[in-house]
Copies of this chain bind each other. A is one copy, B any other.
Amino acid sequence: MDKNDKGKSGKAKFAYDGLDRTIHEKARLSILTSLMTHPTGLAFGDLKHLCGLTDGNLSRHVKMLHEAGLVNIQKGYENNRPHTTCQITSSGQKQFLEYVAVLEQVIRDAAPAVKDSKKSPRLTPKPA
């Protein structure tokens, strides 16, 4: 570890405190990326297909995102059948942007190592 590893602020360089667990969880990251790229909202069925989730899992995670204020749920009817639409909120959009900025930092941090390892596969690790 060299002296640059502490970072300018003296904080843990690789702690990634901005990786909010509400957003970072894989299924919720899928849902939010889908909704972020469809800001006018998505029908529950379309969201399900985009994320590759089951009805139950999608419902559970959308509910969590709604409770966290990141997603709005609109329940209505279309052709006399129940029709649910999900839409990312302004706060959800803001938090997603902050989250993506941290992901970009992870990639920047890893970049030199990624570049090196693509050039020459690493030495065999010492036995544990």
Please tell me which one of the listed residues B43, B66, B74, B106 contacts residue A29 in the complex, with CB atoms under 8 A apart: B106
Residues of B within 8 A of A17 (CB): 52
Q: Decide if A121 touches B33 in the complex (CB within 8 Å).
A: no
* Chain copies in the assembled complex: 2
Q: Decide if B1 touches A52 in the complex (CB within 8 Å).
A: no
Bound-state CA distance A28–B98 (Å) is: 20
Considering only CB atoms and an 8 Å cut-off, how many residues of chain A contact the other chain?
64
Q: Decide if A122 touches B46 in the complex (CB within 8 Å).
A: no
The interface of chain A, by Cβ under 8 A from chain B, is: 1, 5-6, 11-17, 19, 21, 24, 26, 29-31, 33-34, 36-39, 41-43, 46, 49-53, 66, 72-74, 87-90, 93, 96-97, 100, 103-104, 106-107, 109-110, 112-114, 116-118, 121-128
Q: Decide if B49 touches A90 in the complex (CB within 8 Å).
A: no
Q: Which of A49, A100, A113 is packed against the most chain B CB atoms within 10 Å?
A: A113
Bound-state CA distance A50–B7 (Å) is: 9
Residues of B within 8 A of A104 (CB): 107
